[in-house]
A and B are shown apart, each in its own frame.
Chain A
Amino acid sequence: MILLRILTALMCLFVALPIGWLVYAAFLPAEALLRADLTTFGWTLANFAELPGSGLARAMGISLLASGLTVTAQLAFGLAAAYAIRNGARILGLVLVLLALPSELLLVPLYRLLQGFGLIDTLGALIVPFLASPLLVFLLLQALRRVPWELIEAARLDGAGEATILARVVAPVLRPELVAAAVLGFAAHWNLVLFPRVTTTEALWTVQVFLTDLLRTRPFEWGLLGAAALVASAPILILFLIFEKRILATFEAGFRS
């Protein structure tokens, strides 16, 4: 047990070190780097002040728009699909197979498909292929299995239509899981790197494409790189800090069975 605890402590250190250094670098004055003197603990916001001119704001806007719209569709489609499966629709096999296929593997055929739809280099390229997320369908289905079925039967006896039941009965009961699923879906889309890189050009670069490009064009500027990485992570980090307990619980519940 002692051994396991030491290993856990080392693992925590291994995980925390790059994150800690990233935060430190973001607030590091440029002079500290020039003097190669990192021990004088100066800190500055100058690195963040440089960001507006770098194109990050534009990339953030595009990412927020694309990920926001995508996750909205994923929640609506996902909840409807989970409810349908719970009522006997036979698409779970399809969902599970696609769960194992990352979009980066299907880059070539997706590229051709988007070309056919005239979506290459449009905002649609970033959204349309991700309208339904197998992971979200799966997580919401697991959550739905724990909802007492009498609730739905009662609403049916009252004469409510299925879409109404979904919106007025199921969605409110699953609110915590929907929130958690939304954060996970948002993070997954926000984190796409190669897909947006390949299907769009500079005017539509997302945050990830912007960051990887920044690494290539300004490799010496620790402060700027750190600040950009922090700001780009902010939406996900904030969501996670607010909903941490909910997210971890939903994630665990999804894999418990």
Chain B
Amino acid sequence: MSSRRRAQLLALPATAALITFGVVPLLAVIRYATWQWSGTSDPVPVGADNLLRLLRDEALWRSLGTTTAFAALTLPTLLALSLAVALAIQATRVERFVKALLFAPGLITVGGSAIAWYLLYNPDFGAIPELTGLRLPWTTEPFAALLYVVAFTLWQHTGYGVLVVSAALRGIPAETLEAARLDGADEGAVRRYVVLPLLRPTLTFLTIVGTVLTLQSYTAVYLLTGGGPFGSTRVLGYYLYETAFERYQLGYGAAITIFVLLVTLLVAAAQAATLARRHPGEVSS
């Protein structure tokens, strides 16, 4: 056996772990979706009941709408902010400071972040309503609650976006920019016609990763609103959690998991197809 072959064997532990706790659950969830199961009782096979229930579950479709609204509000804002900040701080004295600051919420523990927001913005106990007398609407107004979760998500993740865009900016060769300037382009033109097109693969990457994660994640909802008020922030992931682990319907929870996975897959495929049509050859790169 060659050294290369022997070195390849070193993939085994990680591969075994990734298959057992990544691929197996992904496939097994299809079987669990045919169960009626509380988590502690023995599962009872019920065939396609859970999957059929998905179709007539109004709360699920409402939740899909909420998820769409959440993603539509979060993603473009996150991309625009990441791009704006990365461009503004590139090669300035504050670059390192700003990046470290924006990255900080990602490293403060998640529970601590929830407490930080609570202490400042909670309508009943927070400092802002306490000190200013403002009545903050996120526990009573459905749309305000959604915006609140969006703001928290941006607060947590814009730092990552800035890092990614900033890394791409640094990857642009100085000669390319010089050449454009020599051709008489002013800074605005250089940014619009040279930098932005060169950033497109990075922004595409962020869009696709961001879409997948916004469709699937729900820790922020759990921490801030618990899905309320009136289910206005109950994104798909949270509905899944609520069904499985608060109402103890894990079989139906498995069916919802499949639904979320399918939605993610469809959206990602649609994005890839759109990109392939608009910019042939770029998706593969």
A residues at B contact (CB < 8 Å): 1, 4-5, 7-8, 11-12, 14-19, 21-22, 25, 36, 38, 76-78, 80-81, 83-89, 91, 94-95, 97-98, 100-102, 104-113, 128-132, 134, 137, 156, 161-163, 165-166, 187, 190-191, 193-194, 198, 207-212, 214-215, 219-220, 222, 225-226, 228-230, 232-233, 236-237, 240, 244-245, 248, 251-253, 255-256
Q: Is B273 an interface residue (CB 8 A)?
A: no
Please determine whether A104 and B32 come into contact, CB atoms closer than 8 angstroms: no
Please determine whether B110 and A191 come into contact, CB atoms closer than 8 angstroms: yes
B 90-117 to A, binary, CB cutoff 8 A, 1 in contact else 0: 0000001011111111111111111111
Chain B residues with CB under 8 A of A161: 6
How far apart sit A178 and B119, CA to CA, in the bound complex (Å)? Answer: 36
The verdict on A11 contacting B118 (CB below 8 Å), with A253-B167, A255-B167 known, is no
Min distance, Cβ B115 to any Cβ of chain A, angstroms = 4
Please determine whether B4 and A88 come into contact, CB atoms closer than 8 angstroms: yes
Q: Which of B121, B213, B257 contacts A109 (CB 8 A)?
A: B257
Chain A residues with CB under 8 A of B118: 215, 219, 225
Min distance, Cβ B61 to any Cβ of chain A, angstroms = 19
Chain A residues with CB under 8 A of B23: 94, 98
Q: Is B140 an interface residue (CB 8 A)?
A: no
How far apart sit A5 and B217, CA to CA, in the bound complex (Å)? Answer: 31
Q: Is B218 an interface residue (CB 8 A)?
A: yes
Extra contacts besides A163-B10, A233-B108 (5): CB < 8 Å: A102-B217, A113-B21, A187-B107, A236-B109, A252-B163
Q: Categorize the interface residue count of chain B.
A: 35 or more
Q: Which of B28, B99, B109, B164 contacts A190 (CB 8 A)?
A: B109
Q: Is B281 an interface residue (CB 8 A)?
A: no
Please determine whether A211 and B112 come into contact, CB atoms closer than 8 angstroms: yes
The verdict on A81 contacting B14 (CB below 8 Å), with A88-B4, A191-B110 known, is yes
Please determine whether B213 and A21 come into contact, CB atoms closer than 8 angstroms: no
Min distance, Cβ B221 to any Cβ of chain A, angstroms = 10
28 interchain pairs, CB-CB under 8 A: A1-B187, A12-B102, A19-B108, A22-B116, A38-B127, A94-B18, A104-B237, A106-B25, A107-B245, A108-B32, A108-B244, A108-B254, A109-B25, A109-B28, A113-B24, A113-B25, A132-B14, A162-B3, A166-B10, A207-B109, A208-B109, A222-B125, A229-B109, A230-B112, A251-B163, A252-B170, A256-B168, A256-B171
Chain B residues with CB under 8 A of A207: 109, 111
Q: Which of A112, A137, A209, A222 contacts B14 (CB 8 A)?
A: A137
Min distance, Cβ B10 to any Cβ of chain A, angstroms = 4
Chain A residues with CB under 8 A of B167: 251-253, 255-256
- Among residues of A, the one whose C-beta sits closest to the C-beta of B155 is A15
Chain B residues with CB under 8 A of A252: 163-164, 166-167, 170
Dominant secondary structure of chain A at its interface with chain B: helix
Please determine whether A193 and B111 come into contact, CB atoms closer than 8 angstroms: yes
Q: Which of B240-263 contact A (CB under 8 A)?
A: 240-241, 244-245, 250, 253-254, 257, 260-261
Q: Which of B22-42 contact A (CB under 8 A)?
A: 22-26, 28-29, 32, 39
Q: Is B148 an interface residue (CB 8 A)?
A: no
Min distance, Cβ A128 to any Cβ of chain B, angstroms = 7
Q: Is B81 an interface residue (CB 8 A)?
A: yes
Q: Which of A187, A198, A220, A226 contacts B115 (CB 8 A)?
A: A226
Chain A residues with CB under 8 A of B130: 36, 38
Please determine whether A18 and B107 come into contact, CB atoms closer than 8 angstroms: no
Q: Which of B22, B237, B240, B245 counts the most chain A CB atoms within 10 A? A: B22
Min distance, Cβ A125 to any Cβ of chain B, angstroms = 11
Q: Which of B10, B29, B102, B113 contacts A84 (CB 8 A)?
A: B10
Please determine whether B21 and A83 come into contact, CB atoms closer than 8 angstroms: no
Chain A residues with CB under 8 A of B237: 104-105
Q: Is B52 an interface residue (CB 8 A)?
A: no
Please determine whether B241 and A225 come into contact, CB atoms closer than 8 angstroms: no
Please determine whether A108 and B112 come into contact, CB atoms closer than 8 angstroms: no
The verdict on A112 contacting B119 (CB below 8 Å), with A8-B98, A81-B11 known, is no
Q: Which of A98, A111, A165, A233 contacts B39 (CB 8 A)?
A: A111
Chain A residues with CB under 8 A of B15: 81, 91, 94, 132
How far apart sit A166 and B29, CA to CA, in the bound complex (Å)? Answer: 37
Chain B residues with CB under 8 A of A15: 101-102, 104-105, 155, 158-159
Q: Which of B10, B121, B217 counts the most chain A CB atoms within 10 A? A: B10
Chain B residues with CB under 8 A of A208: 109-111
How far apart sit A230 and B209, CA to CA, in the bound complex (Å)? Answer: 30
Please determine whether A105 and B260 come into contact, CB atoms closer than 8 angstroms: yes
Chain B residues with CB under 8 A of A16: 101
Q: Which of A84, A112, A132 contacts B250 (CB 8 A)?
A: A112
